[in-house]
Amino acid sequence: MLGFVIPFRSKASSKNWKYHSALLIRTIKSICNQLHDNFKVIVVYSDYPEGKVTHKNLTYLHFPFPFLYAKDITDYKSFFKEKHNYTEEYAQYEMDQGRRILYGCQCAINQGCSYIMSVDADDLVSNKLTCFVNKNPVSTSPGWYANTGYIFLETHNIIYRYPKNLNEFCGSTNIVRSDLIPIPDFSSYNLLDFNFFSSHSYLKRRLIQFNNEILQPLPFRSVTYVINAGSWSDYENSYRGKGLKKWAKQLLYGVFYASKMKKEFNLTKIDSALWLPAKS
């Protein structure tokens, strides 16, 4: 059985709580739209989101631990700052996200999930994922990753095909067999204990290095990475705007999302009134 874990930010870290809650609700609906009913969804939250989705396979799991700042992360200066050039902000973000994900993974394992996928609280997934995973015996694969998918610029209503290596910059791309997921002691303040999924671009190499296991690429476009008004990254700048390269990118990779694609990913639009600046 496939378990989806969604780490949801705290209200204190959100500049627009209604908007982030609306993004989460869309993501939950996307996951619960699976064509096969044998799955679980765990939303890990500190503050209950506005609005509510109910589904028999859905669990809201309260995250009981406090936010950790860089000064509290015991391996930040010695490892992540010195060796990997992490900023304080990024280390704090990855620690918070990573702890929430693995706390949710622990719940998913207790619910009988043999594979687990971490999904960011604004991304969308194909409704074919559970069918695919349930057709593959647990003994034959350590898991899969989304090599290809889509990029959705919600603020510009544009969608692109992403041709390869989507897992390098999208966190919602890895499905891992549950026995390969290290569940830490949650009293630890080491980021290295919690960044299994949150350090997503390294996960594939990590499993090879420490477990001698190789994730396989999913054989279909399985993830839509959503760039929206609340995205913390600056990826939008490489897609939006004018210029020859950006027009060429739209010509080569831009797609019209028909009703079939909307249904597969629950690709519905969030009310722009939630994220557009208020008119003076």
pLDDT digit string, tens, across residues 5-40 = 999 999 998 989 999 999 999 999 999 999 999 999
pLDDT digit string, tens, across residues 165-217 = 999 989 999 999 999 999 999 999 999 999 999 999 899 999 999 999 999 99
What is the helix (H) or strand (E) element at residue 248, kind and residue range? helix 244-253
pLDDT digit string, tens, across residues 44-102 = 999 999 988 999 999 999 999 999 999 999 999 999 998 889 999 999 999 999 999 99
Tell me the residue type at 251.
L
pLDDT at 279 over 60: no
Place of tokens 């899969």: 144
Query: In 3-state terms, what secondary structure has residue 161?
Result: strand
Name all domains of the chain by residue range, CATH numbers in brackets: 2-146+166-220 (3.90.550.10)
pLDDT at 249 over 70: no
Could you tell me which residues come within 8 angstroms of residue 96 by beta carbon, excluding any fewer than 6 positions away?
7, 9, 10, 13, 67, 68
- In this structure, the number of other CB atoms found within 10 A of the CB of residue 82 comes to 10
pLDDT at 152 over 60: yes
pTM of structure: 0.91
pLDDT at 236 over 80: no
d(CA 145, CA 115) in angstroms, rounded, equals 12
